[in-house]
Structure 1
Amino acid sequence: MMNFRTIFPLLLLFTCSFYAQDNIKDKKEQVKAMKVAFLTTELDLSTQEAEKFWPLYNAYDDKQFEIRHEKMRTFKGRMSDDALNRISEKDAAILLNQMDAADEELFLLRKKFTKNLRTILPAVKILKLKKSEDDFYRKLLQQYGDRGKRR
């Protein structure tokens, strides 16, 4: 039977990892809410446009997040200086091909999303969406950069 000395560190580790995951989910939800508010203001969608746009955009955004964070995370772990100094040419070529495939998947996802948007939004609003997304992420990066300077 496990004693307290064995259970406590495991419980602490589990609690910390659970809290960290919740914290990441909370941050993601906060960013998503800020993004929705920002895009809503910038795009000035009609009620009919919004009803069709948001389900399409949310599905696109979730899939994009999945590709970027789930697939790219595996690449990041293999891109440390130490790992790159030890990687064989064959493994490097495989990794590069996997990265290219993920980039291609993101490109095709965006292309399909834009094609679907054309059926519900005028071209001008699609261009505004692209610009607004860039502006949002620029502001977000600036905000996090400013926070880091205050510490």
Structure 2
Amino acid sequence: MKRILIILLTIAFAIPAMAQPEPNKQQQRNQRYQQIQSAKIAFFTAELELTPKEAEEFWPVYNQYWKERETVIRRVQGTLRNVNRSLKGEQAMTESEIKKQLEIYINGSSEEGAIHKDYFVKFMKILPPTKVAKLYVAEEEFRMKMIHQLRGTGGPGTTPDQRQPK
């Protein structure tokens, strides 16, 4: 009898726990994105050694730069995903539709290059050349750090015992 009572109580408490809504994938993605952005700001601030005045001028410009780049990157990635789905037979596309998607993909590189050029000039008005150089190096280092973190390899400079198992 005790055993049945324990089982019933366990089930009674387990059902409401299972009914708790899970954070949806979009919320999880947004939360993860915010965590990455916070880590990026901290990393860049340390690497660039910005003065308070530089930081005040730099971050709004950099945030706009990143927003513009991200818009282009997402559009380009979306077109490549569409082409890939078509090649796998998951999405029907005509040859002309594939060609148009590829043109968008190729033009994205030019757009991203134009953004780089435009913001290089803006960054040079705010920061000395050494700090602009540090910015580009920090972007690449942060990108690689995130890739290694996602793969669980720890990245360059870590010993095997510091790396996470795959």
- Greater shift, 20-29 or 64-73, is seen at 64-73
Structure-2 separation of matches of 1:122 and 1:91: 46
- Confirm or deny that 1:39 pairs with 2:44: yes
- For residues 65-100 of structure 1, the C-alpha deviation after alignment (integer angstroms, 9 at most, x for no partner) is 22212442243132234149x755433322221112
Give the structure 2 partner of residue 27 of structure 1.
32
The two structures have a TM-score, normalised by structure 1, of 0.78
- Confirm or deny that 1:55 pairs with 2:70: no
Give the structure 2 partner of residue 140 of structure 1.
146
Q: Which has the larger radius of gyration?
A: 2
Structure 1 portions without partners, runs of 5+: 1-14
Which of 109, 117, 122 does residue 111 from structure 1 map onto?
Answer: 117
- Confirm or deny that 1:125 pairs with 2:140: no
Structure 2 portions without partners, runs of 5+: 1-20, 154-163
**Which structure dedicates a bigger proportion of its chain to helix?**
1
- For residues 41-79 of structure 1, the C-alpha deviation after alignment (integer angstroms, 9 at most, x for no partner) is 000011111110000001111221222124422431322
Report how many aligned residue pairs link the two structures.
135
SS in 2 for 1:141: helix
| Corresponding letter in the other structure for 2:131 | K
What RMSD, in angstroms, separates the aligned Cα atoms of the two structures? 2.4
Q: Which has the higher relative contact order, 1 or 2, with Cα contacts under 8 A spaced 6 or more apart?
A: 1
